[in-house]
Amino acid sequence: MKKIFLSFCLLFSSFSFALTPTQRIKALEDNLQGKTFMSTATMKVVRDNDSRQMKIKLWWKERKFALIKILEPQKDKDTGNLRIGTDLWQYLPKVNRIIRIPSSMMLQSWMGSDFSNDDLVKNGSLFNDYTHKLVKKDKIEKQDVEIIECLPRPDAPVVWGKIIVTVRVKDSAPLKQEFYSEKGKLIKILEGSNIKKFGTHNIPTTLKMTNVTKKNTYTVIEYEAKTVKFDDVINDSFFNQQQLRRSNL
């Protein structure tokens, strides 16, 4: 009887990893965001032999709200972005002004980095905006991975012609995303590493975005693990323009 029970458990465990490509992408996004997410992070922007660094703080909620504030350096301190639904604003503390960013600029560089406004405020969705097809199963460093092709749905408000996602099977942690233009040209690559577990969420705490169209150009975001929090209660009212202006959040 014990052997039968153990065999059943092993069989059930193998089924638990057998997700469809769409289920895998949904699990990936749930992994990264949960109901809410907050963290402090460093962002290093590299251009040839030159680099600069920022310290930022991020809050996301259910793909409806996002707030980003720059903590350092002093010259950029309190600069920030706020998203409510599909509306995005930026606060410029030097002139004490909030400006609205049109949807046409969602893919523009955020603060001169290789991450776009959309990358940081999480307006787009691999699950909602794309269809999903398993390209192949593979192994990376002895770990089972799935490589999934994401193609935009006909009416989706996206500009990428294709995104290829490499995801770890055992926990749906994303390892790499390749972004292609509508003409099929590879534009940038997002690589995730140093994966850590926070509650039920397994996420890469180091993210490297490389612009392959420009030589020696990339940006690295590193989350401070001790500040990462998932699924805490954050009221919708937290995300407002008054908060966007506030210092020392």
* 47 located within any domain: yes
Q: How far apart are CA 67 and CA 237, in angstroms?
A: 12
Inter-CA distances, 240 with 176, 181, 245, Å: 33, 34, 9
Q: How far apart are CA 162 and CA 88, in angstroms?
A: 25
**Domain count within the chain:** 1
Per-residue pLDDT, 118: 86
* 241 located within any domain: no
User: Residue length, the chain?
Assistant: 249
Q: How far apart are CA 55 and CA 73, in angstroms?
A: 7
* 78 located within any domain: no
Per-residue pLDDT, 13: 43
Q: Which residues of the chain have pLDDT under 50?
A: 2, 5-16
* 2 located within any domain: no
Q: Name the CA radius of gyration of the chain, rounded.
A: 19
* 86 located within any domain: no
* 143 located within any domain: yes
* Tokens found for residue 21: 């490509």
Residue 51 belongs to domain spanning: 19-55+106-231
Q: How far apart are CA 54 and CA 67, in angstroms?
A: 16
* 88 located within any domain: no
* 71 located within any domain: no
Q: How far apart are CA 101 and CA 83, in angstroms?
A: 10
Residue 247 is given by DSSP the state: S
Per-residue pLDDT, 17: 59
Q: How far apart are CA 114 and CA 49, in angstroms?
A: 16
Token pair 């966007």: residue: 244
Q: How far apart are CA 185 and CA 165, in angstroms?
A: 16
Per-residue pLDDT, 35: 93
pTM for the model: 0.89
Contact 126, 29 (CB under 8 A): yes
Q: Residue 189 sits in a domain of what CATH number?
A: 2.50.20.10
